Amino acid sequence: MASHTEGRFPWKHLIGFVFSIVLTLIALWVGLYSGFSTKMIITFIVILAILQAVIQLFMFMHVTESENGKVQTGTMLYAAFIAVAVVAGTIWVMSFGMDYMDHDKDMKNMDHNMEMKHEQDNGN
């Protein structure tokens, strides 16, 4: 299959690279210089990230190069599931995990309990 493309310039790769650079620069501009609200900036960046992922999948990762020429649907669904699970798990741990690891609060409670015990011991 590679024999018919050996002598040609990789235009598909160049176009994908240029699109990726342009999307990255747009995301940089939106994040640093646009003046949009934080919610709008995050929305734009997520949309641009999804576009860039799709471009890279088709331009560089050869998603359409299967035996029958179709997109490898099962592989793509599995990869999307893994990506969503990793991102959702990371957000969950970063959002709620600190409730169980708040050492400062535990230390303050321990200090308070020791002070109360000390007061009770001295009061008797």
pLDDT tens string 44-94: 999 999 999 888 888 887 777 777 767 777 878 888 899 999 999 998 888
CA torsion angle 73 74 80 81 (round to 10):
150
Mean pLDDT confidence for 14-28: 94
Residue 11's pLDDT is what? 87
Sorting pLDDT into bands at 50, 70 and 90, what band is 107?
A: low
Residue 107: half-sphere exposure toward Cβ, Cα within 13 Å: 4
Sign, CA torsion 15/18/21/24 = negative
Of residues 119 and 80, the one with the higher pLDDT is: 80
Residue 110's contacts (CB-CB under 8 Å, 6 or more residues apart) are none
CB 42 within 8 A of CB 48: no
Residue 71's contacts (CB-CB under 8 Å, 6 or more residues apart) are 63, 64
CB-based burial, 18-40: b 16+ in 10 Å, e otherwise: eebeebeebbeebeeeeeeeeee
Stated pTM of the model: 0.57
